[in-house]
Amino acid sequence: MEDAYARSAREVLDFFAVDPARGLTDFRVAEHGRLYGKNVLPQEKSTPFWRLVLKQFDDLLVKILIAAAIISFLLALANGETGLSAFLEPSVILMILAANAAVGVITETNAEKALEELRAYQADVATVLRNGCFSILPASDLVPGDIVEVSVGCKIPADMRMIEMLSDHLRVDQAILTGESCSVEKELDTTNVSKAVYQDKTNILFSGTIVVSGRARAVVVGVGSNTAMGNIRDSMLNTEDEATPLKKKLDEFGTFLAKVIAGICLLVWIVNIGHFRDPAHGGFLRGAIHYFKIAVALAVAAIPEGLPAVVTTCLALGTKRMARLNAIVRSLPSVETLGCTTVICSDKTGTLTTNMMSVSKISVLHSANNIPVVAEYAVSGTTFAPDGTISDSTTELQLELPANFHCLLHTAICSALCNESVIQYNPDKRCYEKIGESTEVALRVLAEKIGLPGFDSMPSSLNMLSKHERASYCNRYWENQFKKVSALEFTRDRKMMSVLCNRKQIQIMFSKGAPESILPRCTNIMCNDDGSTIHLTSEIRAEIESKFHSFAGNETLRCLALALKRMPLGQQALSFDDEKDLTFIGLVGMLDPPREEVRDAILSCMTAGIRVIVVTGDNKTTAESLCRRIGAFDHMDDFSGLSYTASEFEELPALQKTMALQRMTIFTRVEPSHKRMLVEALQHQNEVVAMTGDGVNDAPALKKADIGIAMGSGTAVAKSASDMVLSDDNFATIVAAVAEGRAIYNNTKQFIRYMISSNIGEVVCIFVAALLGIPDTLVPVQLLWVNLVTDGLPATAIGFNKQDSDVMKVKPRKVNEAVVTGWLFFRYLVIGVYVGLATIAGFVWWFLYSDIGPKLPYTELVNFDSCSTRETNYSCTVFSDRHPSTVAMTVLVVVEMFNALNNLSENQSLLVIPPWSNLWLLGSIILTMLLHTLILYVAPLSALFSVAPLSWSEWTVVLYLSFPVIIIDEILKFFSRNSKGTRFNLRWRRMDLLPKTEGHSK
């Protein structure tokens, strides 16, 4: 029943045909069970493991690699190869793909945990009226129409409509659903609000929320999926995971590369059709297979097999650095997503604020003879810990012994006695926790901060207590001094509560409540300086009321007034008539305070071009006041056009909605569907959205956002739905995480460019060799070695490049920005062409000029395939010698080591950023060269990779051919740093290696 809040209790009872005095009959229970289903969130089918595994191979580059592995294996068998040589290349490729698939499967299985965690918020049991009798039944047995009784501490088992109040009032903590820091008072009256949100439905008890005070009966109107918690589940379930910006770019790169590879391979094969019948191949078919094998080798050379592994490794290294910043990354790709975040939608309660209601101001009468007559005190401390000071707001001087001031002392006594909450220390979490109403807990903490009178060593003596004893030491002291005799509970019409206490033959009634209820009942007022009581004159009353309006209006504090009254000795009960002729003690103002570090964090976000939108279930005035109190929005004198409630935003025309989204700073009175809607609307404007939150209500938006950021103290549901968890609940940690994300992306671009230029070199090498008609320069297994080991280690080490000093002073990059574009593509094309030509040069040098080589004429080299049909003065076996390919492979390895040094910075010279600025890169280069030397000089390995040991003269030639790559790139960097490079970039701007796409991508 979706509109139960808009109907009277009688209408709801009639709809379900239930008698509120007897409950449902067994027949009705069975009938409703068939009609509405069980009161459980359905178990969602998990994705089969085999489907998750197959999903990891649904990538064009991966498919090309698998095809290359299979073809390589079949060609090896067709050539009569057996054993290790036939299986080596395909086995290595498949091992790489299996490792990447494993990482993907682990990441995706984490995503399904959020739905499981949601079930933890369902109640286990419920007190149900059936067949005229109350009984405790499993909550899963509830059906719509059941009459349920709830009281303090109960977890609401289903969505229910209030039908009877069994106490003066009922308050429910529904923060997990709405994010409100204060509990909500429930009532029986019908709600007549159009487009009512959860906060407006004051006659509905929502599943999973908790009763903090009072007792009532309600009729079940929604079970299972048809509850507020069920709606959250459905919203999470309907959210599809989207690719991150980097993943999108790599996918585009794969598609682009696949087309290039296919074209080049086909071109190489077609160009050599005339050589298919060469006698060296032994027939047309064998010749076709030979050149097809070269095309496969070209495909292997063009595909950077190590790229997925290097990206994963770099992101993993980034997560370790972020963990040290208290940002726990649950999804590796989200590390990079932070770098292009343009909007952070921040939950207010518990994220920008501490979610711990605390007293911040106290106002009392100083003395009738003092100007001004009203004294104001500021209270520090923003948590439930009994740590804080009381300071005079006028002089800003801290009070050493607050309890020696009469009004402050009686404020502490009234706060301790007019209270039903509890504070306790949790040793496991190492923090103080509350049980009960937030405002009452704030008063408990205030009593601890004021302390006890008559002890010169009061502050230090309290600090000597254990944390468990300190939690409520002062409160327990007053409870022991004043024995409670009777109490009048809070009611909606009175808006106050009173307790009658006895101490040393003196009976006193203490009262607390809304100032508009307490103040009219007061005839006297206590003076703070001497403890005397004077008549509450109209002038003093006006001063107090002015202070109240200042607290509640400008500062949006939640205000309570405290009062007392001497009662006749022996009185054992209180009546409402006793609540008059009171003596006013003071006024306290409390709030859910902002975190101290939030201001600087938001300002840093603004400097970095990131917009912050405060999203909350609280009302508009409270949210705007918080933003002013934070201080980061001081430049916004007026929030009109920047602050909207959910209903206001929904009523805007489409064009105005678009404009509002571009300026919005505050979004209030929201429920889960609104948060998700906001994220989607921003994403449609090509914004990259980060959503922070900690409650169950935040989970759908966290899952939908490009990066969901949960608080460490938040609910398990929020954490499971998020990509990242802030272990310190500190909004400022997001700023550090964004800086790290940007640095990771910059380093990722560097090693992608490094691998691209290296692979261009390999493609040029094979392509030019095929065009010239010389023997195979490199065999596929050598290409694999270079791609995985030679490229992989330095590329990973590039991920350790230092963070740029201005990384948080530039605007976020566009999501459709290509990784390599224009001038950069030209630069790396030049480098790649040189790498390929240097490799060919090393190969040709050995045949033509090496002292241990055959010193052939160039014409003999390009006609090697007809050697067996001609008379020559050299043996044809020289073309199967392993030395020339070894020289070529070594040139390729060494030139790429020098090229790795080029990638310490995109544009800065090696003279500015020297090689030792990244010791990991130097270490990887040394390790790579040791491994390469190992396969050259260890017999079994040299045979496996078809290489031979090199002489010193051959090493000298290798160095001569390799080093110029640094000189070439230094020249290109020089142009990049100057205007000529900029103009050149304009001419090349359309040549994007990674194609741009329109629209938003996650």
Please give the C-alpha separations between residue 539 and each of 155, 374, 588, in angstroms, as whole numbers: 48, 11, 20
> Of 945 and 223, which is predicted with more confidence?
223
Q: Indicate if the pLDDT at residue 998 is higher than 50.
A: no
211-238 mean pLDDT: 82
pLDDT on residue 346: 87
Neighbouring-strand partners of residue 644: 667
Mean pLDDT of 293-311: 65
Mean pLDDT of 621-648: 82
Under the phi-then-psi rule, with left for phi > 0, alpha for psi from -120 to 50, and beta for the rest, what region is 73? Answer: alpha
The CA radius of gyration of the chain, in Å to the nearest whole number, is 38
List CB contacts of 7: < 8 A, sequence separation 6 or more: 15, 161, 190
Percent of the chain with pLDDT over 90: 25
Helix (H, G, I), strand (E, B) or coil at 177: helix
pLDDT at position 458 is: 67
HSE-up of 22 (CA within 13 Å, CB side)? 9
d(CA 227, CA 209): 12
Q: Which is more confidently placed, 382 or 71?
A: 382
Predicted confidence at residue 783, as pLDDT, reads: 75
What average pLDDT score do residues 685-706 get?
A: 83
Residue 766 has pLDDT above 90, yes or no: no
Residue 556, pLDDT score:
79
Mean pLDDT (whole number) for 894-916: 84
Higher pLDDT, 509 or 356: 509
Give burial (CB, 10 Å; 0-12/13-18/19+) of 582. buried
Hey, what amino acid is at 343?
Answer: V
Say if residues 994 and 819 touch (Cβ distance below 8 Å).
yes
Which pLDDT value is given to residue 118? 47
Q: How far is CA 621 from the centre of its chain?
A: 28
Cα–Cα distance, 674 to 672 (Å, whole number) = 5
Query: How confident is the model over 329-339, as a mean pLDDT?
Result: 72
Q: Which pLDDT score, from 0 to 100, does residue 513 have?
A: 93
Mean pLDDT of 505-510: 93
Comparing 29-33, 323-327, 430-434, the range with the smallest average pLDDT is 323-327
Taking 50 as the threshold, does the pLDDT of residue 794 lie above it?
A: yes
Residues paired with residue 422 on neighbouring β-strands, in sequence order: 435
Give the tens place of pLDDT for each residue, 831-890.
Answer: 889 999 999 999 999 988 888 888 888 888 887 777 777 777 777 778 878 889 899 999
CA–centroid distance for 43 within its chain: 26
CB 186 within 8 A of CB 164: no
Query: For residue 805, what pLDDT is reported?
Result: 62
pLDDT mean over 758-785: 79
Q: Is a pLDDT exceeding 80 seen at residue 70?
A: no
pLDDT in tens, 797-824: 887 777 666 667 777 877 666 666 667 7
* Mean pLDDT across the chain: 81
Banded pLDDT at 995 (limits 50, 70, 90) = very low
> Using CA atoms in the order 515, 517, 520, 526, what is the torsion angle rounded to 10 degrees?
-50
Query: For residue 943, what pLDDT is reported?
Result: 81
**What pLDDT, on the 0 to 100 scale, is given for residue 303?**
67
pLDDT of residue 151: 87
Band of pLDDT at residue 530, cut at 50, 70 and 90: confident
**Arithmetic mean of pLDDT, 129-150:** 90
| Residue 269: predicted pLDDT | 76
What pLDDT is recorded for position 991?
Answer: 37
Residue with tokens 């790709």: 333
Q: Which residues are designated catalytic?
A: 347
pLDDT at 767: 79
- Per-residue pLDDT band for 498 (boundaries 50, 70, 90) equals very high
**Long-range contacts, stretch 83-89, CB < 8 angstroms, 24+ apart:** 84/944, 85/781, 85/944, 88/781, 88/944, 89/300, 89/780, 89/781, 89/784
Does pLDDT of 112 surpass 50?
A: no
Longest dimension (CA), the chain: 133
Tell me what pLDDT residue 205 has.
92
pLDDT of residue 92: 64
User: What is d(CA 830, CA 434) in angstroms, rounded to the nearest whole number?
Assistant: 66
pLDDT at 984 over 60: no
Q: Give me the count of residues in the chain.
A: 1002
Between 80 and 439, where is the model more confident? Answer: 439
- 198-202, 286-290, 489-493, 899-903: range with lowest mean pLDDT: 286-290
Structure tokens given for 63: 């498919």
pLDDT over 50 (residue 993): no
β-sheet bridge partners, residue 19: 23
pLDDT of 379 strictly over 60: yes
pLDDT at position 111, please?
A: 41
Among 542-546, 592-596, 689-693, the minimum mean pLDDT is found in 592-596
Give the pTM: 0.65
pLDDT, mean of residues 424-441:
85
Name the pLDDT band for 698 (thresholds 50, 70, 90).
confident
* CB atoms closer than 10 angstroms to residue 3: 11
